[in-house]
Structure 1
Amino acid sequence: MKYKQLGKSDLSISEVSFGCMSLQGDENESIKLLHQALDKGITYFDTADLYDKGKNEETVGRAFKGMRDKVIIGTKVGNQWRPDGSGWDWNPSKTYILQAVEQSLKRLQTDYIDLYQLHGGTIDDPIDETIEAFEQLKQQGKIRHYGISSIRPNVIQEYVRRSNIASVMLQYSLLDRRAEEKVLELLQQNNIGVLARGSLAQGLLAGKPAKSYLNYTLEEVQQAAKAVTEVAGASRKASETAVRFTLHHPAVTSAVMGIRTKQQLEEALHAASAEPLDQAEVRQLEEVLPANKYEQHR
């Protein structure tokens, strides 16, 4: 497993990391899977208070109790469950963040969170107030670093300009290259790490039946999947090639893979150990389809 520094933070994380959102069912099985991932070299585990109404954080907390120094834990805040459980509302206020972190710390059974991320964000948010909350938590030692999880260029630009974020989590794959237009270069220039999710584009780049995806037609998705298979050749699987495409960009620190089963864990580990793409292979994939761009939130 290769490890990279997350932006300008002091967090060194695995190049392929564990997205915990998909964990469900038997908790003991989930904990076993988390332990297997750690044993195989995955060190970054990403969850959120929103997932399964906090139970996801509880599972991660139980899994790593007594081995806290061996893992880097990221969680997220900003989506507040309604009292009746019917859904959630967006709340990036300082008051709510300072309150929510206490619950996350309790569920995770830890004194600190390595990476606390705003779980979304709009240009109309009280951004300075949100940043104040994160900076206060950092000063108090309750979080080590903070970041945002957002695909909105206008929001990302504001946080780059106004805050000390360590990272941005965003969607990036051969079928979602929107971040290439402005965002990835901006983050790289400012030494802000990128946690990339969606490398397999819902499995469409790893053998699942084709369907339209974002602005790409079914036929275009088929073309992309075919190109991934061709580049994979005999030396890599399609899934490994898709993940290596995500990791080829120098702005990307880690590919966050949604893992629920042992097979998915094995696929993630194979992708981590697969040969990186060379420039010719990257170019071959990039030339299959024109890169899509963000139409909103610019």
Structure 2
Amino acid sequence: MHYAYLDTTDLQVSRLGFGGMSLGADVAADRRLLDAARAGGITLFDTADLYEHGRNEELLGAAFRHCRTQVVLATKVGNQRRPDGQGWDWNPSGAYIRQAAEASLRRLQTDYLDLYQLHGGTIDDPLDEVVEAFERLREQGKIRHYGISSIRPNVIRRYVPETGLSSIMLQLSLLDQRPLEAVLPQLDAHGVGVLARGALAQGLLAGKPAREYLGHPAGTVQAVAAAVAAVAKRLQRPPAEVAGRFVLDTPGVTAAILGIRNEAQLAEALQLARSAPLPPDARQELLQAAPANTYQEHR
């Protein structure tokens, strides 16, 4: 397993992270999957207080309370559930961030969070208040690092390099190359870690039927998936591994966050973690087949 760092701190994480897990009917099976992921070398587990009304955090807390120092726990804040349980509202206030942190700590059965992330963000958020809340939590030892999960370049630019955040979580794949144009060079220049999600483009690069995706018509998606399959065949690798390596090989990317929901997906993820980088000509072939897209909003 390869390792990388977020920023220049001592937060060490595997190149692959386990994230976005949906709870199934069999909690024991979910626990076995988490245990197998950790045994396979995955150390970063990403969740959010919003997922499954907090039950996702509770699952991770129960799974890792006996080996807390061996994993990196990341969660998110900002989406406040309504009292009636019907939906949520955006709340980036300092008071709510501090309140929500205490609740996440309880559910995760830990006295500190390795990484606490703002779960989104808008250009109108009270930046100073947000950062003050994160910094106070860090001073109290309740969080070790903070970051934001956002695809909005204008929001990311508000935080970098003006604050002490360690990471940005954003979406990146052959079918979503927007960060390459807008924010990755900036984050790399300032030493901010990048957690990339969506490497398989909701499975479209790993065998799912083509459909329109982020402005790409279905025909384009099909052509890009065919290029991934052709490179995979030539290199004798699975298409999911080729698509994942495109993300991992991108300069500035710290780790890829994969949604792992069953043993087959975990096996693919562990194979990706052990894989070699793509040959330069293979990466170039993929880039030529995939039209680069740009952010039309949030500039």
Q: TM-score range by the shorter chain?
A: over 0.9
Matches within 5 A, 1:20-169: 20-169=20-169
TM-score normalised to structure 2 length:
0.98
Tell me the CA shift for residue 272 of structure 1.
1.2
Aligned to 1:186: 186
Contact 1:15/1:254, CA 8 A, preserved across alignment: yes
Distance (whole Å) between structure 2 residues aligned to residue 99 and residue 15 of structure 1: 31
CA RMSD of aligned residues (A): 0.9
Contact 2:22/2:52, CA 8 A, preserved across alignment: no
Aligned to 1:262: 263
1:26 maps to amino acid: D
SS of alignment partner, residue 232 of structure 1: helix
Tell me the CA shift for residue 248 of structure 1.
1.0
Aligned to 1:12: 12
Alignment of 1:283 onto 2:288: no
Distance (whole Å) between structure 1 residues aligned to residue 25 and residue 163 of structure 2: 38
Matches within 5 A, 1:207-246: 207-233=207-233, 234-246=235-247
Distance (whole Å) between structure 2 residues aligned to residue 293 and residue 251 of structure 1: 18
Contact 2:148/2:168, CA 8 A, preserved across alignment: yes
Aligned to 1:175: 175
Distance (whole Å) between structure 2 residues aligned to residue 186 and residue 5 of structure 1: 17
SS of alignment partner, residue 164 of structure 1: coil
Instruction: Encode CA deviations 1:46-97: one digit per residue, 9 max, x unaligned.
Output: 0000000000000000000111010000000000000100000000000000
Tell me the CA shift for residue 10 of structure 1.
1.2
Tell me the CA shift for residue 289 of structure 1.
2.8
SS of alignment partner, residue 214 of structure 1: coil
Tell me the CA shift for residue 232 of structure 1.
1.1
1:278 maps to amino acid: P
Which portions of structure 1, spanning 4 or more consecutive aligned residues, are displaced by more than 2 angstroms? 20-25
More deviation, 226-235/109-118: 226-235
Contact 2:205/2:228, CA 8 A, preserved across alignment: yes
Tell me the CA shift for residue 263 of structure 1.
0.9
Instruction: Encode CA deviations 1:157-184: one digit per residue, 9 max, x unaligned.
Output: 1011321110000000000000011200
Aligned to 2:272: 271
Contact 2:161/2:190, CA 8 A, preserved across alignment: no
SS of alignment partner, residue 103 of structure 1: helix
Tell me the CA shift for residue 271 of structure 1.
1.2
Instruction: Encode CA deviations 1:216-272: one digit per residue, 9 max, x unaligned.
Output: 011100110011011112421000000000111121011100011111111111111
Distance (whole Å) between structure 1 residues aligned to residue 50 and residue 250 of structure 2: 29
Distance (whole Å) between structure 2 residues aligned to residue 161 and residue 2 of structure 1: 27
Tell me the CA shift for residue 8 of structure 1.
2.1
Contact 1:236/1:274, CA 8 A, preserved across alignment: no
SS of alignment partner, residue 21 of structure 1: coil
Instruction: Encode CA deviations 1:114-145: one digit per residue, 9 max, x unaligned.
Output: 00000000000101100000000000000000
SS of alignment partner, residue 180 of structure 1: helix
Contact 2:23/2:52, CA 8 A, preserved across alignment: no
Instruction: Encode CA deviations 1:89-117: one digit per residue, 9 max, x unaligned.
Output: 00000000010000000000000000000
Contact 1:206/1:238, CA 8 A, preserved across alignment: yes
Tell me the CA shift for residue 16 of structure 1.
1.1
Number of equivalenced pairs: 298
Aligned to 1:196: 196
Percent identity of equivalent pairs: 57
Alignment of 1:2 onto 2:2: yes
